[in-house]
Amino acid sequence: MSQSKHTEARELMCSGALLFFSHGQVRSGPIPLSAWGLRVGKGASRERHDGRLSSSRLHGCACVGVLGALPARVSILQAVPLRGPRASARLTSLTGNWSSRPALPSLLKASQTSGSVIPNHFCVLQQNSAADLSMLVLESLEKAEVEVATDLLENLAKLFSLMDPNSPERVAFVSRALKWSSGGSGKLGHPRLHQLLALTLWKEQNYCESRYHFLHSADGEGCAHMLVEYSTSRGFRSEVDMFVAQAVLQFLCLKNKSSASVVFTTYTQKHPSIESGPPFVQPLLNFIWFLLLAVDGGKLTVFTVLCEQYQPSLRRDPMYNEYLDRIGQLFFGVPPKQTSSYGGLLGNLLSSLMGASEQEGEDSQDDSSPIELD
């Protein structure tokens, strides 16, 4: 399929998905075709199977109007007849097997028989149909090898925000969208897309998943504001310091020092239960403040003493030392922890003979294994 045809099909599917989403939970009775953006036109350009637009005119066909949610450039939507015996075949030529989905025959049947309304049962299929179209939009982006652009990321985030939060299709969609946005680099997705997803999940009060996406974005300030709301609405007052401590340590594990600093500063300034500082009343906040200063300095001795002095606070969460092991490797040149190739009693015996037990305290701050940022 040519690049232009991919673009036309993608715009059509994106518009259709937005249309289904926009009416999926608003109406419960028969829906006029005008409410779906459908109108009867005197003529429309017909798409030939070779992918080019011809100038022949078709009379009396229902044409999909351009949605207000999309720019006027989506003019191809005005040229797709949804009425007549060849309607299904014509949509198949643009969108593959989309016309075989259960929702489209209902729409075609309604437009061909009554020409005015869509039956009640069609409303039930709108969410599924919109999710199918959203996946086809991604498929088009992948097959056409379209370069990542801001407007495309925003469109994908819009589709995500309109999906049912509990639908399995949403999980598949976001996973595939992030993979495409990484550009095949093997990374975890484009930071801008992560930011948009995080904002959507924040509005839904899904704080855990929102925090995950904020961590992979460059929006430290937005992450801090979300954490303040998360802490005040769901957390204990005694744990106000732990919310930001975890986020800072995870940002540092991702080598995002600037966002770690921003999220700490913003959180401590905006949280109503934290007195102005530094220094702070909470020892853990003082540790994070000193840690950020130590990361800037890069001195291993400062980092080591800091971790030793604040062990009582660091024991509040067993993951803190795991994060600090990784931070020691990334910013202070701590070598990865060596693990014995022998297991069980033999491994312990060899380790003791080689003096590994004496080095255990020093090696405890180093770990080359990846850290789970949940």
Q: Tens digit of pLDDT for each residue in 292-317?
A: 999 999 999 999 999 999 999 999 99
| pLDDT surpassing 80 at residue 238 | yes
Q: What is the mean pLDDT of residues 57-71?
A: 32
Distance separating alpha carbons of residues 257 and 279, to the nearest angstrom: 21
Beta carbons within 8 Å of 95's beta carbon, 6+ residues apart: 9, 12, 13, 136
Q: CA nearest 79: which of 5, 26, 148, 20? A: 5
More confident residue, 311 or 9: 311
Q: 38 in helix, strand or coil?
A: strand
CATH fold label, 219-354 = 1.25.40
Q: Which stretch of 62-66, 104-108, 213-217, 353-357 has the lowest confidence by average pLDDT?
A: 62-66
Burial class (CB in 10 A: 0-12, 13-18, 19+), 10: buried
Distance separating alpha carbons of residues 331 and 308, to the nearest angstrom: 17
DSSP type of residue 26:
T
pLDDT > 90 fraction of the chain, expressed in percent and rounded: 45
More confident residue, 82 or 161: 161
Q: CA nearest 162: which of 178, 173, 150, 151? A: 173
Q: What is the mean pLDDT of residues 165-182?
A: 92
Distance separating alpha carbons of residues 288 and 327, to the nearest angstrom: 12
| pLDDT surpassing 90 at residue 151 | yes
∠ Cα 118 19 114 (to 5°) = 15
Distance separating alpha carbons of residues 29 and 272, to the nearest angstrom: 47
